[in-house]
Chains A and B, each alone.
Chain A
Amino acid sequence: MLREKKITKISRGVIVFLLCIAYLLPFYILNILALNAPDRVFYEGNLFIPDFHLENFAEAWTTSHIGRAMINSAIITFGTLALTIICGGLAGYAIARFPTAYNRFVFGLIIGCMMIPGIINTVPLYTLMRQLKAVNTLWGMIFVCSALAMPSAVFIYTTFIQALPVTLDEAAALDGCSKFQIFWKIIFPIIRPATASFVILNGFGIWNNYAQAVFFLQSSKKHNVPQALSVFFQQFAGAKWHLMASTSMIAIIPVVVVFLIFQKQFISGLADGAVKG
């Protein structure tokens, strides 16, 4: 019996170890490619030790303009999150507290379209964006991404606010708060977990958006990270893997750092969302 337990323990350890290798190895190989000298095309000899050609990163940084793309991605991500949290939070409050026919319609419309992916309306949206002069602008991209994230926000905020006791609103109303103040000063701070799970579920997706960026961020000054990488690859680095790999490394680092800092909240937030959904 004891021996059997030991065998399970060891075999489990081996499986987990191999799995972790399978998950880390591609990143390590990307790193090797990023550090290889430009003329090293054939991996003769050792496969696991790179050339440590650090100049690649400097060259990748200047030629790919990935820094500019990261700033654009940051503006789009924060702008989208802020806009969607404010609009979605207010809508969730109105829907939860004033379930009139109008608000039932708003909820039904937005949640009913939840499963429709952006690509379905991207082409007609493109003509609209051209009329609004919003193509190749960051604010235009913020509105597009915000519309795509809106169902998630409305759903999360409505469910959270519905679970809050109405006495909270009533007490605040007695103190002379307007409806907007009740939302902004009382409800919104209480439902911070709702905001956290909205950010967790949508933040990286907005940062990584490519299917919309292909259409709406074509001018090189407005590229976000994925669009900048794909254009860099197509126009320049398709044959220069060392540069493409080091640019990808640079693009991955901020995302991984943010994830590692918040990984505890992240994984528990996802699990909460899974149980409630």
Chain B
Amino acid sequence: MQRKKNKAAQFLSLPALILYGVFFVYPLLRGIGMSLTNWDGMGQATFIGLKNYFDFFSDKRALHDIQTTVIFAVGSAVLLNIVGLLYALLMNTEFKGKSIARVIIYLPAIISPLIMGYIWYFLLQPKRGYLYYACMQLGLPDLIGNWMSSYHSALAVLIVVNVWQFAGMTMIIYLAGLKAIAKDYTEAAAIDGATKWQLFFRITLPLLMPAIRINVVTNIIGSLSVFDVIMSLTEGGPGYATESLSIYIMRMCYGSRTGYSTAVAMILFVIILIPVLISMRLTRQKG
């Protein structure tokens, strides 16, 4: 009787499995099949083998989008962790107004990246943006003028805005990590006469290193599918310069190249698998 009940009760996970299977796994598998066709989203689909993939790798725009996406992801992840760790070190000391400062720095992370992109668009738009006029009044009219009109500076701005918005999140994670480091270590080292710098580089940083590695990799994975902030801040421009692969997928889908857009999604999937495999190795080492 009891065993029978257990047998039935194990299927309490069925609703989750069905929901996840229908709305996540099934489309994922169907995407693999779709990526081998020339389907336009409406009519008949014809099997064309790997042609979409060959097309992708001979398309300059697509290859450029890979470059943009990877630079954005790696740049964001590295800076997010450096800046977040610095904030955490600052917030790990005692001072008045600390909790308010923490809330203020975290605040942007809860707001839609799309809205954040619009705010910075208003600030940085050449000839129209708020900071453009601010710089003009300071007698530096050319300072911001060209930032958004060249690839490298526009991509840098996107990374900085992303880091500005989400560094509060990494700060919270590292604050928890710093709190978890036993006081014994640092106190013992301080008694031995270690300076503050030595304490940080010889004790704190090595102890945090596993957390740092995993955070960097997780942030890379998250940033590889960047969409919102680029849509509002540069719309992928100038031209297609700052277009990410996610935006490319959407535009190809809207451009009736449905089969091709799923092939691009599969390529992005493979790119994301690289840091995923790295993170799995890192976690295994940790455990």
Q: How would residues 86 to 109 of chain A score, 1 for a CB under 8 Å from any chain B CB and 0 otherwise?
A: 111011011101101011001001
B118 & A252 in contact (Cβ 8 Å cutoff)? no
Complex Cα distance A263/B109, Å?
A: 12
Contact-residue size bin, chain B (C-beta under 8 Å from the other chain)? 35 or more
Q: Are B95 and A9 in contact (CB under 8 A)?
A: yes
Judged by a CB distance under 8 angstroms, whether A156 is at the interface is no
User: How far is A97 from B5 in the complex, measured between Cα atoms in Å?
Assistant: 12
Chain B residues lying within 8 Å of A90, measured Cβ to Cβ, are 12-13, 15-16
Q: Do residues B249 and A123 form an inter-chain contact, with CB atoms below 8 A?
A: yes
**How many Å lie between the Cα of A252 and that of B113 in the bound state?**
11
**Which A residues between 66 and 121 are near B, CB-CB below 8 angstroms?**
83, 86-88, 90-91, 93-95, 97-98, 100, 102-103, 106, 109-110, 113, 115-121
Contact with A along B7-34 (1 / 0, CB 8 A): 0111111011101101111111011001
Residues on the B chain within 8 Å of A30, using CB: 119, 122
Asked whether any CB of chain B lies closer than 8 Å to the CB of A61, the reply is no
Complex Cα gap A95–B12 (Å): 9
Interface of A is mostly: helix
Taking CB atoms, residues of chain B closer than 8 Å to A233 are: 118, 232
| Pairwise interchain contact B104-A113, C-beta atoms closer than 8 A | no
Chain A residue at smallest Cβ distance from B222: A117
Which A residues lie within 8 Å of B87 (CB)? Answer: 19
Residue pair B122, A20 in contact (C-beta under 8 Å)? no
Q: Closest B-chain residue to A251, C-beta based? A: B115
B 247-258 binary contact with A (CB < 8 Å = 1; else 0): 001100100001
Q: Assess the A267–B119 pair: CB atoms within 8 A.
A: no
Are B258 and A248 closer than 8 Å at their CB atoms?
no
The distance in angstroms between the C-alpha atoms of A74 and B17, with both chains bound, is 25
Residues of B within 8 A of A116 (CB): 28, 269, 272
B63 interfacial by beta-carbon distance below 8 Å = no
Q: How far is the CA of A24 from the CA of B111 in the complex (A)?
A: 13
The answer to whether residues A12 and B93 also contact, given A119-B246, A147-B19, A263-B103 and a CB cut-off of 8 A, is: yes
**Contact B90 A15, beta carbon cutoff 8 Å:** yes
Contact of B10 (CB < 8 Å), options: A24, A102, A207: A102
Q: Is B173 an interface residue (CB 8 A)?
A: yes
Q: How far is the CB of B39 from chain A (nearest CB, A)?
A: 9
Interface presence of A244 (CB below 8 A):
yes
- Encode contact with A along B107-118: 1 for CB under 8 Å, 0 otherwise: 110111111001
Q: Which residues A243-268 have CB closer than 8 A to chain B?
A: 244-245, 248, 251-252, 255-256, 259-260, 263, 267
B228 (CB) vs chain A CBs: closest residue = A210
- Give Cα A233 to B268, complex, Å: 29
Select which of B17, B122, B261 is within 8 A of A123 by beta carbon.
Answer: B261
Smallest CB gap from B93: residue in A: A12
Cross-chain contact of B177 among A241, A270, A274 (Cβ < 8 A): A274
Which residues of chain B come closer than 8 Å to A124, judged between CB atoms?
A: 27-28, 30-31, 34, 262
* Complex alpha-carbon distance, A215 and B252, angstroms: 13
Which of A86, A88, A110, A274 has the most chain B CB within a 10 Å cutoff?
A274
Q: Are A19 and B120 in contact (CB under 8 A)?
A: no
Q: Which residues from 158 to 178 on chain B have a C-beta closer than 8 Å to any C-beta of chain A?
A: 164, 169, 172-173, 175-177
Residues of B within 8 A of A272 (CB): 176
Residues of B near any A CB (own CB < 8 A): 5-6, 8-13, 15-17, 19-20, 22-28, 30-31, 34, 41, 87, 90, 93, 95, 97, 100-108, 110-115, 118-120, 122-123, 128, 130, 133-134, 137, 164, 169, 172-173, 175-177, 179-180, 221-222, 224-225, 227-228, 231-232, 246, 249-250, 253, 258, 261-262, 265-266, 268-269, 272, 276, 279
A-B contact pairs, 14 of them (CB 8 A): A23-B108, A30-B119, A98-B10, A106-B17, A110-B16, A117-B221, A119-B227, A120-B265, A121-B28, A121-B265, A127-B258, A150-B24, A255-B111, A274-B173
Interface pairs A-B: 9 shortest CB-CB: A91-B16, A147-B23, A179-B9, A117-B225, A208-B112, A98-B10, A271-B176, A91-B13, A94-B13
